[in-house]
Structure 1
Amino acid sequence: MGFSATGGMAGSSAMVGWVAARGSSGGIKQYYLGGLTPDKVVPDKGNLQVIVNSSFITMESGRVYMVFQLATTTSSALPSWLLFATGPTGLFPSAPGYQLVKHLDKVSIRIDYTSGSIGNSQSQANGSSSSSSSTPQSDSCGNKLMNSNAVFTFDTSNLNCFPVWNAQDFILRYSQSSSNIWSFIVSAPDKNSYIAMGFSPNGAMVGSSAIVGWVPSSSSITATGGLKQYYLGGTTPSQVVPDSGNLQFVANSTLITSQSSRLFLAFQLQTAQPLSRLIFAVGPTGVFPSVPSFALAQHQDKASITFNYASATGSSSSASSSSSVNSIVSLKRTHGLLNILGWGILIIMGAIIARHFKQWDPLWFYFHVSVQSLGFLLGFIGVISGLILNDRLHANVQIHKALGIIILVLACLQMMAILARPKKESKARKYWNLYHHNTGRILIILAIANIFYGIHLGHEGSAWKIGYGIVLAILFFIAFIFEMRKWSDDEDDDDD
């Protein structure tokens, strides 16, 4: 039996007792649960003031009884969260280390010592808790929160209520508790999956911070429940970072509980005004974050809304299935590949041909025009796909978008310059060459910079940057070899 300030095992102090079968010795000790690893579970340590000679452990009629007395000034000095756990069969602490084996199952409850009322209970961690019910019930804004006084840590009597996601039956309750504190409770059906609520600067999942809660079913032996903040830095699992984000929670306000087959995710934020772009998600059935990484599995469904806190209204609600998410990821990568191939490879190849293969006149010219035209076509399609992607994501990529448009305009000027190309003997030819060559150089420099910037914005990781960097290095190496050869030939001509 443990006493916790937050409902989590880490940081709590516990009394542990055991009675081995067939007359083997038993024992009782206090442990301090300093962390998740065995070396942080320390025997004969903790914050409990156990009265001398008051503790003992005994077994009668097939039941184990653990008895102890604690010395406190008042009942309020005791933490309101109680933890209970059972160990694995046949494994007990023993001399000399008295190391505690990981529990087989556990539960946490919140208790009011003065009234004797118990809040909620379930296998949980990090300030979370739950209770189960065999009778499924729906929730609506007309319903009162169940056992609100005993369960939630903040006042729930004056919460505004709004159905935010009808497809998944998500209901949001909220209120401004003070000038800089906002209270939230999200209600959703308990489908044995995690639920999440995120706050986004632009409506997209990437770049948002989310609070995620989960309560595994009683049949989930290895998974325990919990609640964590995640920063959604990208679309890959490594970029969804636990215990990170921009949300400032009020201490001891976070809670996840399951009641009557519904999950209730509660928390308070320290902010003058929460972001109005809200994101909600449901995780895959039976897949939960777990130690040590607490990696978050990809959601099976999500929704994004723009919410007006003053009027309790939402707009532009959109649900996105996993197939829709995959289509956006596919469009993003298509956009990147087209622009890399068009602006970042073919245009450079065309410039190398024009500079170093003029001895094969007029073949070099036709080859140069063909390669540049193909690069322009692929790059043009890439820009259009980027505009479509930006319209779907509503992402803040103004610099990347502006550079892409400038590159497209320069490329259009280059294509039109072919039609206005003066003859070799014309006096205007040298001015045309000056314009055409320098515009091409500026286009290539901007294209390379925007490609790397686009990979950064797309959160595709270092693989794309390294891959394109290798291709770019090969092209520059080839250009350098041809340039050295050209300089050598020019010196030979001067000597002659």
Structure 2
Amino acid sequence: MVDSLRPVLFITLFVPLFISISAQTCRTHVFPSNNQVSTDFTSCNDLPVLNSFIHWKYDPATRRVHIAYRHTNIDSTRWIAWAINPTAKGMEGSQALVAYQKDGQMTAYTSPIPKYGTSLAEGKLSFDVPNLTASFQNREMTIFATIQLENSTVVNQVWQEGPLSNGVPTVHSMAPANKQSVGSLDFLSGQSSGGGLVDSRTKRKNVHGVLNAVAWGILMPVGAIAARYLRVFNSMDPAWFYVHIATQTSAYIIGVAGWATGLKLGSESQGIQHNTHRNIGIALFVLATLQ
């Protein structure tokens, strides 16, 4: 009887321990002795999406922070990036550290991102980065860097990954995880947030959707219904005509605003095309204009 209970006792005691150990990620990670920055990182955070982790050590005297951004379970055919946005929450305007493998060797460089659809071209950032290297081993890509903070220790952070094409970084996926890879981080206290902040472009996309839904989905049909069904009632003459004109005109004005917002979003998304969505929008705009 005792022997038969031993496996049950083992599972009861040790499986929760194994699960707990496997759940501990950044705090249990040990950097190899040959890591490219000889820094003992004192703090770390598990980023909520994209299998990513940020380690750092902040020096208050110099206002420098040594960071290691790790992205696990990634292939050598992809690029990674970690960025600070000094002015807003989100990708647009962020100052990025980029790394990928080229010709069997890791390359790391800085890349300012003025707008969406960037090609991650190399360029100088708005703050100093005295040291920058990268490593790749065991399907784990890491960026090591030293960053000179200018004012606050609280920063808006962005992290991302995407494919390479002919050895050059290309546009990342628009999957939910890629859209949620933004947040804030306090290098002094270690407090962080992320995984769902709404940036200005997301707000414009929401505005674009609401404007077009109201214009083409509500006001335009109401105007057509008024002209078709209210005119048969003598008591509604000429009120039906004014209702028809008011709703159709409002629908067209709001629809033009939604259409213009869509054009702006499209110009900011180089390399990303939604052909069906675009064709429907053009057709609606042309038909409404002709009407």
Q: Same fold (TM over 0.5)?
A: yes
Q: Map Cα deviations across residues 104-151 of structure 1 (whole Å, 9 max, x no partner).
A: xxxxxxxxxxxxxxxxxxxxxxxxxxxxxxxxxx96323442125x62
In 2: Cα distance, 1:258 partner to 1:462 partner: 30
8 A Cα contact 1:255 1:265, kept in partner: yes
For these two proteins, the number of residue pairs brought into alignment is 228
1:188/1:182 Cα in 2 relative to 1: closer, same or farther (>3 Å)?
same
In 2: Cα distance, 1:462 partner to 1:167 partner: 22
Question: Which amino acid is the alignment partner of residue 214 of structure 1?
Answer: Y
1:374/1:456 Cα in 2 relative to 1: closer, same or farther (>3 Å)?
closer
8 A Cα contact 1:165 1:171, kept in partner: yes
How far off its partner does 1:255 sit?
Answer: 0.8
Residue of structure 2 in register with 1:170 after alignment: 52
Residue of structure 1 in register with 2:164 after alignment: 288
Report which of the two structures shows the higher radius of gyration computed on alpha carbons. 1
Residue of structure 2 in register with 1:182 after alignment: 65
Within 5 Å, which residues of 2 pair with 1:211-230?
Answer: 211-215=97-101, 225-230=106-111
Residue of structure 1 in register with 2:122 after alignment: 243
Q: Map Cα deviations across residues 375-428 of structure 1 (whole Å, 9 max, x no partner).
A: 435777x8xxxxxxxxxxxxxxxxxxxxxxxxxxxxxxxxxxxxxxxxxxxxxx
Residue of structure 1 in register with 2:184 after alignment: 306
1:199 aligns with 2:90: no
* % identity of equivalent residues: 9
Residue of structure 1 in register with 2:156 after alignment: 277
SS of the equivalent of 1:215 reads strand
8 A Cα contact 1:163 1:169, kept in partner: no
Over the residues paired in the alignment, what is the CA RMSD in angstroms?
A: 4.7
Question: Which amino acid is the alignment partner of residue 209 of structure 2?
Answer: T
Question: Which amino acid is the alignment partner of residue 184 of structure 1?
Answer: I
Residue of structure 1 in register with 2:245 after alignment: 371
In 1: Cα distance, 2:190 partner to 2:145 partner: 18
In 1: Cα distance, 2:268 partner to 2:194 partner: 31
Q: Map Cα deviations across residues 190-237 of structure 1 (whole Å, 9 max, x no partner).
A: 411322212233322233232221237xxxxx67642233344444x3
In 1: Cα distance, 2:79 partner to 2:169 partner: 12
1:223/1:262 Cα in 2 relative to 1: closer, same or farther (>3 Å)?
closer
In 1: Cα distance, 2:268 partner to 2:104 partner: 30
SS of the equivalent of 1:276 reads strand
Highest RCO, 1 vs 2 (Cα 8 Å, sep ≥ 6): 2
Question: Which amino acid is the alignment partner of residue 146 of structure 2?
Answer: Q
Residue of structure 2 in register with 1:146 after alignment: 32
Question: Which amino acid is the alignment partner of residue 308 of structure 1?
Answer: D
SS of the equivalent of 1:288 reads strand
1:268 to 131, 146, 161: 146
How far off its partner does 1:173 sit?
Answer: 1.3
Q: Map Cα deviations across residues 1-44 of structure 1 (whole Å, 9 max, x no partner).
A: xxxxxxxxxxxxxxxxxxxxxxxxxxxxxxxxxxxxxxxxxxxx
1:379/1:184 Cα in 2 relative to 1: closer, same or farther (>3 Å)?
farther
Q: Map Cα deviations across residues 444-469 of structure 1 (whole Å, 9 max, x no partner).
A: xxx97x986x56864635999xx99x
1:147/1:459 Cα in 2 relative to 1: closer, same or farther (>3 Å)?
farther
